[in-house]
């Protein structure tokens, strides 16, 4: 089963999306947007930038857990990963975003 985007509304009436892998696991969570239109533009930006390794910025949290941020070519953050137990798991997460980020499926839950 291919991945998909889930578009949601937060408790304070902002919009965000999750990119889910085919197994249903969240692999990327967006920033909050003030409009649904802006959130949809964020989804389009994932589609445009997810194939470029240079758009993935790898980090280590203060607790020592690897994670990544997907940024557009203009440097704006599009979304972030969960914290991973190892660098290899983080790289698998990046590979999952690359494999599923081009999905045209959007599950609008707003």
Return the pLDDT at 59: 94
Average pLDDT over residues 74-102: 96
Return the pLDDT at 77: 96
**With contact defined as beta carbons under 8 Å apart, do 100 and 20 qualify?**
yes
Return the pLDDT at 2: 82
Mean pLDDT taken over the chain? 96
pTM (2 d.p.):
0.93
pLDDT tier, 56 (very low <50, low <70, confident <90, very high otherwise): very high
Convert 29-94 into a string of H (helix), E (strand) and C (coil).
EECCECCHHHHHHHHHHHHHHCCCHHHEEEEECCCCCEEEEEECCCCCEEEECCCCCCHHHHHHHH
Average pLDDT over residues 78-88: 96
Return the pLDDT at 10: 95
pLDDT tens digits, residue range 22-44? Answer: 999 999 999 999 999 999 999 99
């Amino acid at each position: 089963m291919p991945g998909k985007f889930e578009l949601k509304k937060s408790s304070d009436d902002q919009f965000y999306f999750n990119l889910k892998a085919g197994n249903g696991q969240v692999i990327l969570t967006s920033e909050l947007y003030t409009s649904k239109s802006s959130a949809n533009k964020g989804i389009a930006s994932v589609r445009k930038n997810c194939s470029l390794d240079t758009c993935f910025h790898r980090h280590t949290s203060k607790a020592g857990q690897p994670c990544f941020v997907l940024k557009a070519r203009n440097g704006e953050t599009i979304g972030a990963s969960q914290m991973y137990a190892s660098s290899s798991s983080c790289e698998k997460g990046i590979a999952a975003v690359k494999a599923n980020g081009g999905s045209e499926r959007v599950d609008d839950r707003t």
